[in-house]
């Protein structure tokens, strides 16, 4: 029963800005153990829905219910750290502990946190370049480090916002294989927000389309069928 426990549930929610609705009729549930994809064309409302799920944006209507003390590990689409600031991949990963650990600028983090950061870098296949400057890494390497930083928060849900943006097909495949392993082997709950849907069908267990200001959720076979994809992108 634990695996089916809802972590986030939206009940007939509407989200928007300044009183203007961007996404409405949002009935949505993310359960512990899900590997879920939130898909849709650019400008369709995915980011607005994500902000609502994370609690950054309050609903204009409806109710958002979250499990107690829910922790998100967030991986942004990209993050450019000023190259003048010479931080290594390890140091970026350690940033994920700052909220959890009582820490003051200039003081080292506890050794146990450095061990945890090393383990997170290993989990995402980034241990080989842990000492390299973040600014000198490739796009795919940076994304792995940002995933390691998110894992440092010890999240209930790993959230990735357009994680494969700008990647070639080989890099996209590597990323999906990594996420699949973390879900299947480690049991991590994963939410991927993207406008790319190639290769997702055999990996995810639920799909939400955000299009025309509405949210529609179902099983991958139905939601990723050619007919459904044509319906979404023809509107």
d(Cα 21, Cα 174) in Å, to the nearest integer?
Answer: 37
The answer to whether position 103 is within a domain reads yes
Q: What is the DSSP string of 148-200?
A: HHHHTT--SEEEEESTTTT--HHHHHHHHHHHHHHHHTT--EEEEEES--TT-
Residues 119 and 182 in one domain: no
Residues 58 and 169 in one domain: yes
d(Cα 142, Cα 175) in Å, to the nearest integer?
Answer: 12
Residues 161 and 232 in one domain: yes
Residues 117 and 218 in one domain: no
Work out the mean pLDDT of the chain and round it to a whole number: 88
The answer to whether position 235 is within a domain reads yes
Q: Does 159 have pLDDT greater than 80?
A: yes
Q: Does 106 have pLDDT greater than 60?
A: no
Q: Which tokens go with 81? A: 């750290």
The answer to whether position 176 is within a domain reads yes
d(Cα 214, Cα 220) in Å, to the nearest integer?
Answer: 18
Residues 136 and 188 in one domain: no
Average pLDDT over residues 105-111: 72
The answer to whether position 60 is within a domain reads yes
* Pairing of β 20-31 and β 157-161: unpaired
Residues 147 and 160 in one domain: no
**How many domains does the chain contain in total?**
2
d(Cα 109, Cα 104) in Å, to the nearest integer?
Answer: 9
Interval 89-100: pLDDT, tens: 999 999 999 877
Residues 134 and 162 in one domain: no
Last residue of a domain, one of 127, 153, 179: 153
Enter the pTM of the model: 0.90
Residues 126 and 226 in one domain: no
Residues 129 and 230 in one domain: no
Mean pLDDT is lowest, of 72-76, 80-84, 148-152, for 80-84
CB atoms within 10 A of CB 92: 23
Owning domain of residue 21: 1-70+156-235
Express the helix, strand and coil content of the chain in percent, nearest 5 each. 35, 25, 40
The answer to whether position 75 is within a domain reads no
Residues 33 and 45 in one domain: yes
Predicted pLDDT of residue 19: 87
Q: Categorize the per-residue pLDDT at 205 as very low, low, confident or very high, splitting at 50, 70 and 90.
A: very high
Last residue of a domain, one of 153, 177, 194: 153
Residues 162 and 234 in one domain: yes
The answer to whether position 35 is within a domain reads yes
Report the SS3 class of residue 235.
Answer: coil
Q: In sequence order, what are the beta bridge partners of 155?
A: none
Last residue of a domain, one of 123, 153, 183: 153
Is the sign of the CA dihedral 94, 95, 99, 104 positive or negative? Answer: positive
Q: Categorize the per-residue pLDDT at 1 as very low, low, confident or very high, splitting at 50, 70 and 90.
A: very low
In the chain, what percentage of residues exceed pLDDT 90?
Answer: 63
Predicted pLDDT of residue 32: 94
Q: Does 110 have pLDDT greater than 90?
A: no
The answer to whether position 120 is within a domain reads yes
Q: Does 136 have pLDDT greater than 60?
A: yes
Domain of residue 233, CATH code:
3.40.50.300
Residues 21 and 34 in one domain: yes
Predicted pLDDT of residue 80: 65
- DSSP E strands, the chain: 6-17, 20-31, 35-39, 61-66, 72-75, 157-161, 189-194, 206-211, 214-218
């Amino acid at each position: 029963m634990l695996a089916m426990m809802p972590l986030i549930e939206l009940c007939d929610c509407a989200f928007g800005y300044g009183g203007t609705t961007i996404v409405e009729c949002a009935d949505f549930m993310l359960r512990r153990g899900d590997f879920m994809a939130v898909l849709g064309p650019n400008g369709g409302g995915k980011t607005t829905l994500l902000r609502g799920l994370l609690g950054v944006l309050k609903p204009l209507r409806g109710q958002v219910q979250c499990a107690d003390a829910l922790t998100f590990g967030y991986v942004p689409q990209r993050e450019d750290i000023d190259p003048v600031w010479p931080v290594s991949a390890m140091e970026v990963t350690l940033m994920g502990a700052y909220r959890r650990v009582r820490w003051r600028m200039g003081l080292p983090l506890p050794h146990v946190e450095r061990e945890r950061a090393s383990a997170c870098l290993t989990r995402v296949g980034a241990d080989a370049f842990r000492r390299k400057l973040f600014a000198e890494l490739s796009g795919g390497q940076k994304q792995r480090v940002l995933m390691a930083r998110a894992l440092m928060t010890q999240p209930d849900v790993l959230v990735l916002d357009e994680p494969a943006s700008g990647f070639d097909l080989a890099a996209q495949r590597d990323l999906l294989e990594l996420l699949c392993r973390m879900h299947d082997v480690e049991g991590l709950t994963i939410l991927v927000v993207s406008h790319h849907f190639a290769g997702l069908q055999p990996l995810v267990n639920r799909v939400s389309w955000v299009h025309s200001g509405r949210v529609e959720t179902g099983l991958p076979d139905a939601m990723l069928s050619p007919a459904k994809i044509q319906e979404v992108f023809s509107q």
